[in-house]
Amino acid sequence: MQVHLVLALVALLWGLNPPVMKIGLLHIPPMPYNAVRLFAALAVAWLILRRLCIWIPLRQEDKKSVLISSLGFFFFQLFFTFGLQLTTAGNSSLILGCLPVSVALISHFHRLEAINPDIIKGIAISLFGVVLMVAGTGKEVSLAGNHIQGALLLLAAQMCYGYYTVFSRPLSATYSVYQITTYILLISSGLFALVSLPSILVVDWQAVPWPGWASLLYSGIFPLCLANCLWIWGTAKAGSATASLYNNVAPVFAVGAGYLFLGETFGWLQFFGAMIILTGLYVAKRQSAKSTPASGTDSA
């Protein structure tokens, strides 16, 4: 039960992130915004690691997993930033809702985790719930013009996040989740800084008001740093495929936050979509309860 509460907290942090990011993006362009929030996440992860954990030297056999996880996280940030600007919000929600499918396929292809029938059922039910939520918001779904380019970038983004999710999981058997997160953020933020440096330099940072800075700090510290620490721990405990279903719970919180704080709509179709997503999670969770993964640490 504890792992599912933790993963629900991750979904909450991720769900609250889009409305918070909207505030920051009113004042800061997307590329510099993402770069600075990555720096904030890295700084916090490093401080936590220095104070709370023992640094374990990276073993030779784990370098491949660290590299794949870090590149997956970096390319997710890059493709997501550009893809989101080229396509509709409806396309984005549907494509990112396919993360559990990507995680299941990656796990099966690399023979890292067995995918059981209950998990497959849970993924299918959850995806249907995402479709209903998108339909309920009235967001456009289109593959015309630039939308198909954006959709392909987002498809690549969620595949990259799937690789990050799957390959970071086995590392938690040896290293603290804070150390894993620090490694991943160090590599990905360094790479992101290189590609976003020109756009960072042209921003008048002194002119950014406090809501913009507050948005950056929240998004960097909580959804990027804390949530990803908990995410790695949760995937180790519940399994990558089951944990990835909580990715589809995040839009439920996002829609609720938008309704409460931004005056966005929340209708019956969205409500039924949310209930179906939770039903899919319950179906997959039954399998998780039957067999607990052997790998993973006891605490985050």
Contacts of 236 (CB under 8 A, 6+ apart): 169, 172, 173, 293, 295, 296, 297
Cα dihedral 104/130/188/66 (nearest 10):
-20
Q: What are the respective helix, strand and coil percentages of the chain, to the nearest 5?
A: 80, 0, 20
Range in 124-133, 141-150, 219-228, 264-273 with the lowest mean pLDDT: 141-150
User: For residues 201 and 220, what is the distance between their CA atoms, to the nearest angstrom?
Assistant: 20
For 61-108, write each residue's pLDDT tens digit: 999 999 999 999 999 999 988 877 676 555 566 677 778 888 888 988
Query: HSE on the CB side for 149, CA within 13 Å?
Result: 6
* Predicted structure pTM score: 0.82
Q: Where are the domains of the chain?
A: 1-201+213-287
Q: Is the predicted pLDDT of residue 300 greater than 50, yes or no? A: no
Q: What is the pLDDT of residue 295?
A: 40
239: left (phi over 0), alpha (psi -120 to 50) or beta: left
More confident residue, 230 or 286: 230
pLDDT-derived band of residue 36, with 50, 70 and 90 as boundaries?
very high
User: Residue 283 and residue 267: Cα distance in Å, rounded?
Assistant: 25
pLDDT for 293 equals 44
Pairwise CA distance, residues 246 & 10, whole Å: 8
Tens digits of per-residue pLDDT, 151-209?
788 889 889 999 999 999 999 989 999 999 999 999 999 999 999 999 999 999 999 99
pLDDT value at 147 more than 80? no
Q: What is the pLDDT of residue 146?
A: 59
Query: Which pLDDT score, from 0 to 100, does residue 122 have?
Result: 78
**pLDDT of 92:** 64
